[in-house]
Amino acid sequence: MTPTELDHALRGTPYARFTAPGDTGPATLELAVTRSLAERMTLLARWAGPDAGPLRAIMLDQDAHNVRDIVRGLLGGLAPERRAAGAIPTPLLGRKELESLAHAESPGAAAATLAVWGHPLGSALLDEASRKHPDGYRLEAALARRTAAETSRAARKGGRRVRAFVRAEIDAANAVAALLLAGARTEGQLADFFIEGGRVFTLTDFVRAASVPSRVDAAELLASAAVGSVFEAPLLEHPSTPSALLDRILSARIEELAARGRQEPVSAVPVLLFVLRLRWEAQLVRRVLWGVALAGGLRP
């Protein structure tokens, strides 16, 4: 795809409002994607009511994605504006708060700021983030565990479909983590990276899959534990990377929710389907625009 084709493709879409005609710089388009997603998530949050109401679990999960990306940026030495480039504001962490976190001097400072604000994810990061050389794996594991606990608690008010959605999020995170750990050298016990709260994968399933040297073998072990679930088919496709597995799981979950939504149109399912489709759309658009940029088609 050329820059002109990309420009034409975005016309008439929710992203067009945030771009100037002919401005196809990758940073500009990335910002347009983020602003468009933020606008739609903000509308969803307003519908949910104060403190995100029945969708608090969804908003907390988005906060976790935002914090994870900012921490990765801090560890990777990215400029502050890049650390929060893809962050989507929520009622719990708005744009100003995200920018403040992105300008933190260290992961420890970001964690301390979250804790001072009373955000439920802040204290989970403090121990590891405050070390002189924090370990990225352990930071993300701590964040994932606290996110699972908080979203599971919040989902109790959202109904059974929201609870099932949160459990699927946890299962997906465990499957991807097991694939990531397979064949990798890590300090400590593999069980430390398991997240409680899912329905499909047990701690035993996780450790067994994470212990093998091959990702193909890990996927097969996980597939045998996921028979009859939405995770079975994506795992049987033998994904070559954790990100490929995450993509396939997301696609399978969208398909499952779409079918369920036709049966339960007056439920939380259409909203949850909207959230997953928005996530999928964002990934596709970002991959296209950065693919064109890497190919030399977009000017800075």
Could you read off the pLDDT tens digit of each residue along the chain, which spans 300 residues? 666 677 677 777 888 788 776 666 667 777 788 888 888 888 888 877 767 778 899 999 999 999 999 999 999 999 998 898 888 888 889 889 999 999 999 999 999 999 999 999 988 888 888 888 888 888 888 999 999 999 999 999 888 999 999 999 999 999 999 999 998 877 778 998 999 999 999 999 999 999 999 999 999 999 999 999 999 999 999 888 999 999 999 999 999 999 999 999 988 999 999 999 988 988 888 888 777 777 765 555
**What pLDDT is stored for residue 165 in this prediction?**
96
Q: Which two tokens stand for residue 40?
A: 């739609």
Measure the CA–CA gap between 230 and 250, rounded to whole angstroms. Answer: 10
**What pLDDT is stored for residue 297 in this prediction?**
56
**What pLDDT is stored for residue 209 in this prediction?**
97
Q: At 209, phi and psi to the nearest 5?
A: -70, -40
Q: Which two tokens stand for residue 273?
A: 């389907």
Q: Which two tokens stand for residue 82?
A: 């890049």
**What pLDDT is stored for residue 4 in this prediction?**
67
Asked if residues 289 and 29 have their Cβ atoms less than 8 Å apart, the reply is: yes
**What pLDDT is stored for residue 299 in this prediction?**
52
What is the 8-class DSSP label of residue 78?
A: -
Measure the CA–CA gap between 103 and 82, rounded to whole angstroms. Answer: 10
Closest CA to 279 of 65, 114, 19: 65
Measure the CA–CA gap between 66 and 100, rounded to whole angstroms. Answer: 12
Neighbour tally for 282: CB within 10 Å:
16
Measure the CA–CA gap between 9 and 281, rounded to whole angstroms. Answer: 14
Sign of CA dihedral 36, 41, 45, 47: positive
Q: How many CA atoms lie within 13 A of 252 on its CB side?
A: 19
**What pLDDT is stored for residue 30 in this prediction?**
77
Q: Which two tokens stand for residue 195?
A: 């997240």
Measure the CA–CA gap between 93 and 97, rounded to whole angstroms. Answer: 6
CATH-assigned architecture of domain 50-157? Up-down Bundle (1.20)
